[in-house]
Amino acid sequence: MKNKSAVFILVSSIIINILVKGSLKSLGIFLLELKNQGIETSEAAWIPAIAFTCFSLFSSPVAWCREKTSSRLLSVLGGLMVSVGFLISYLLYLPILYTGLGVLLGVGGCMATISGSLEINRVFQGSRLGTAHGLSLAGSTAGGLLVPVLVAYLIFTWGYRGAVLLQAAILLHTIPASLFYR
């Protein structure tokens, strides 16, 4: 039974990495569309800077919080934050974009993905640990290849506002994936 749960945890981590890190890597496509919406490129360029900075800065505090709570709770909260970040980005107001696509995507993404890495550390040992982390991080690469294409298609089909609403809905799929964590 432990092997089955370990596989579910690994697959969940891969799915979350595809969705969250793929969304982080697709911010450039959203920046192009924000330019078309009348937002200056020099102002919009702060959005990915804020997101990646928050993602990096909060990795240690998230690991500390994981010791006090559970990976499941942190990942569910992170998934909600990421989804709400895209949801509020429907409003094309720069401070909201900084908050939604910057802070919420960065902090929530960190909470969701770091929790998965810590869960992998908990359930895998020995040589399987490295393989599990490699597969989990392959999800990040797959997300970086697939999600920007999806985002470009959503923007082309639905426009900016439709794309961020649909991306918010897609990112809600991190929540059921998180439920396999402890």
Read off the amino acid at residue 2: K
DSSP conformational letter for 98:
I
Residue numbers of the chain with a pLDDT score lower than 50: 1
Tokens of 156: 């082309």
Q: Given this model, what pLDDT does residue 1 score? A: 42
**CB-neighbour burial class of residue 135 (10 A; exposed 0-12, middle 13-18, buried 19+):** middle
Read off the amino acid at residue 163: A
* pTM attached to this predicted model: 0.94
The rounded distance, in Å, linking the Cα atoms of 149 and 134 is: 23
The rounded distance, in Å, linking the Cα atoms of 106 and 4 is: 31
Q: Given this model, what pLDDT does residue 2 score? A: 62
Q: How many CB atoms lie within 10 A of CB 56?
A: 11
pLDDT tens-digit readout, 139-172? 999 999 999 999 999 999 999 999 999 999 999 9
Ramachandran assignment for 69, one of left (phi > 0), alpha (psi -120 to 50 degrees), beta (any other): beta
Question: Radius of gyration (Cα) for the chain, nearest Å?
Answer: 16
* Domain coordinates in residue numbering, the chain: 2-178
Domain 2-178 -> CATH class = mainly alpha
Q: Given this model, what pLDDT does residue 14 score? A: 97
Please choose, from the candidates 177, 178, 133, 168, the residue with its C-alpha nearest in 3D space to the C-alpha of residue 23. 168
